Amino acid sequence: MTGPVLHLKGEILVGPHEVRPEAWVVGGRLTFERPTTAGPQVQTLHGFVLPGLVDAHCHVGLDAHGAVDDETAQAQAVADRDAGALLIRDAGSPADTRWMDDREDLPKIIRAGRHIARTRRYIRNYAWELEPDELVDRVRLEAKAGDGWVKLVGDWIDRDTGDLSPCWPVDVLTDAVAAAHEEGARVTAHCFGEASLYDFAAAGTDCVEHATGLETETIAQFAEQGIAIVPTLVNIATFPAIAEPAKEKYPAYHQRMIALHDRRYQTIGAARDAGIAVYVGTDAGGSLRHGLVADEVVELTRAGFGAAEALSAATWGARAWLGRPGLEEGADADLVVYDVDPRREIRALQAPSHVVLRGADLS
């Protein structure tokens, strides 16, 4: 999908420290060279231009009950797109959304295959549920099914103990991470509590989702090993509601979830201060609606991130981490335009004036 030549004027935020005064979109691709034969159809867009935002933890094709139909999945993707999220890392879904790759008006998706969870230790209808002796083989299969990522469920409530606990023996987990790496995939994991983070650090994981249980020792381990985190603070905000139904039957679990919630900004701020790479993700598609990427960037600023840092976690830095281009010569023109400078008013991200995907202005 390519429209007329676009002339971008204002401040083209190529990187956190690089700004260009103008750029063009020709044939769906970005260029910083003025076209010699633009023809009569030139559309000028004024404003502050960012690379298309990244939602690095999103579930297109999933709702609170499991896989959804294609029409619902499309509506989810459109909501993300209209919010400016043009690159999605789908962090686990039972739905087949490969058909979206043929739709030039929908965001680009990097898939992690389907969640892999311990039997009866995750949300029903979401994951492959299995026992430790099956983990390595399933990881290899999901590594082949995804786009370079595998998603494990690292901890969940254990009804025998009444609290969060790790799902996998660390030796099996280590073999599973190694198997994913052998297949050319990176590993990320759902981890709420403290204990599972020690195991995933020992196993050599690449990333952890939520990471609410980080504490001094695991923060140091993650920083030393280069393990990234995607906090999903807009989801962590729902912990009290998640925990409330368990208050009487599982009081230890309830208390832990409340404690993790209460120290969420302190935890993620400490990770940031230690040099851990932090990226924006919303966890949309389970119980959360889609289109929350700007809200998550705002949440990072509440954890002590400067505006430029928070923006990078959703744009330049996130795209480099996922191996996808930003505002680069010859790259697909996936970009978002704002009337107000988001470096000075971070909430400007909530009101894009233009969303350009593959060179087409979809606003």
pLDDT-derived band at 207 (thresholds 50, 70, 90) equals: very high
Instruction: Give the pLDDT mean for 311-335.
Output: 98
- Identify the pLDDT of residue 41: 81
CATH number where 228 lies? 3.20.20.140
- Identify the pLDDT of residue 40: 63
Question: What percent of the chain is helix, strand and coil (3-state, nearest 5)?
Answer: 35, 25, 40
pLDDT-derived band at 130 (thresholds 50, 70, 90) equals: very high
Instruction: Give the pLDDT mean for 48-74.
Output: 97
* pLDDT over 80 at 107, yes or no: yes
Give dist(CA 330, CA 171) in Å, integer.
Answer: 45
250-264 pLDDT, tens digit each? 999 999 999 999 999
Do residue 79 and residue 57 come from a single domain?
yes
Do residue 22 and residue 82 come from a single domain?
no
Do residue 292 and residue 347 come from a single domain?
no
Do residue 234 and residue 151 come from a single domain?
yes
Pairing type for strands 207-210 and 186-191 reads parallel
Do residue 170 and residue 206 come from a single domain?
yes
* pLDDT over 90 at 37, yes or no: no
Do residue 58 and residue 72 come from a single domain?
yes
CATH number where 332 lies? 2.30.40.10
Two tokens at 182? 């052998």
Instruction: Give the pLDDT mean for 192-217.
Output: 98
Do residue 178 and residue 227 come from a single domain?
yes
Q: How many domains does the chain have?
A: 2
* pLDDT over 60 at 361, yes or no: yes
Q: Which of 280, 286, 193 is nearest to 233 (CA)?
A: 280
Name 48's bridge partners.
Answer: 11, 338
- Identify the pLDDT of residue 4: 81
- Identify the pLDDT of residue 39: 63
Average pLDDT of the chain, as a whole number: 96
Do residue 318 and residue 335 come from a single domain?
no
Distance, C-alpha 177 to centroid of its chain: 20
Give dist(CA 138, CA 154) in Å, integer.
Answer: 15
Supply the range of the domain harboring residue 316: 53-322
Do residue 20 and residue 32 come from a single domain?
yes
140-172 pLDDT, tens digit each? 999 999 999 999 999 999 999 999 999 999 999
- Identify the pLDDT of residue 363: 86
Count CB neighbours of 221 within 10 A: 17
* pLDDT over 60 at 1, yes or no: no
User: Percentage of residues in the chain with pLDDT exceeding 70?
Assistant: 98
Do residue 179 and residue 216 come from a single domain?
yes
* pLDDT over 70 at 185, yes or no: yes
- Identify the pLDDT of residue 350: 97
The answer to whether the pTM exceeds 0.95 is: yes
Do residue 261 and residue 204 come from a single domain?
yes
* pLDDT over 70 at 2, yes or no: no
Do residue 34 and residue 150 come from a single domain?
no
